[in-house]
């Protein structure tokens, strides 16, 4: 019984911490466009993240189906040559040092690649985590999100 309670507690703590990242991503647009106040956006994100965690399994099913690349399948496609990156241009890079020996790199990157599904040309926002080990920075994790194409400019009347 203690093990079950410990597992549930750890899962809830993880969900709480993970919610910080989800909340930041989901509220950025509505706050920057002033659709909602920051407080309203955070409350809305907290409620929907909780409901999604409790009742939503669509993301897990999509990833489990193989429709989305996992880290392993992505690395295999790059190593095998099925995916070739032609251009990776960092349009913006920012570094934050939240603790000694930890660096967070965030920004936007323009990537052009060729794979079995064809050519792709996209802009991504990203977050990379680095750790200082024995005097060398070691890459730990990467998360990215494809940004939608820019809206065409309105024609002058």
> Cα–Cα–Cα angle for 83, 68, 140, nearest 5°?
75
Over its C-alpha atoms, the chain yields an Rg (Å, rounded) of 19
pLDDT of 136 reads 92
Tell whether 74 and 138 lie within a shared domain.
yes
- Give 23's pLDDT tier (boundaries 50, 70, 90): low
Rounded Cα distance, 69 and 71, in Å: 7
Average pLDDT for residues 82-94, to the nearest whole number?
Answer: 83
Query: What's the CA dihedral at 9, 12, 53, 19 to 10 degrees?
Result: -170
Rounded Cα distance, 144 and 107, in Å: 10
Tell whether 83 and 128 lie within a shared domain.
yes
153 domain residue, yes or no: no
Tell whether 73 and 106 lie within a shared domain.
yes
Number of alpha helices (DSSP H) and beta strands (DSSP E) in the chain? 4, 4
Q: What is the CATH number of the domain that holds 121?
A: 3.10.450.50
Q: What is the mean pLDDT of the chain?
A: 76
Q: What is the pTM of this model?
A: 0.46
- Give 19's pLDDT tier (boundaries 50, 70, 90): low
Query: In sequence order, which residues have a C-beta less than 8 Å from that of residue 14 and are 6 or more positions away?
Result: none
Token reading at 39: 């407080």
Assign 114 to helix, strand or coil: strand
**What residue spans of 33-156 are helical by DSSP H?**
38-55, 58-64, 71-80
- Give 65's pLDDT tier (boundaries 50, 70, 90): low
Residue pLDDT, tens place only, 96-124:
888 888 888 888 888 888 877 788 788 88
pLDDT of 11 reads 75
Residue 127 CB neighbour total at 10 angstroms:
16
Tell whether 99 and 50 lie within a shared domain.
no
Tell whether 132 and 80 lie within a shared domain.
yes
| DSSP state letter for 28 | H
Structural domain of residue 104, as residue ranges?
69-148
């Amino acid at each position: 019984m203690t093990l079950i309670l410990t597992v549930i507690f750890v899962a809830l703590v993880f969900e709480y911490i993970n919610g910080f990242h989800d909340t930041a991503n989901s509220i950025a647009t509505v706050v920057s466009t002033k659709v909602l106040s920051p407080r309203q956006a955070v409350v809305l994100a907290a409620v929907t993240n909780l409901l999604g965690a409790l009742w939503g399994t669509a993301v897990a099913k999509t990833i489990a189906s193989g429709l989305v690349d996992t880290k392993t399948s992505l690395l295999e496609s790059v190593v095998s040559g099925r995916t070739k990156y032609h251009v990776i241009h960092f349009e913006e890079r920012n570094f934050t040092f939240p603790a000694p020996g930890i660096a967070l790199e965030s920004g936007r990157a323009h990537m052009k690649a060729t794979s079995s599904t064809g050519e792709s040309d996209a802009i991504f926002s990203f977050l990379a985590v680095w750790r200082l080990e024995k005097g060398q920075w070691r890459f730990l994790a990467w998360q990215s999100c494809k940004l939608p194409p820019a809206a065409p400019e309105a024609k002058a009347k």
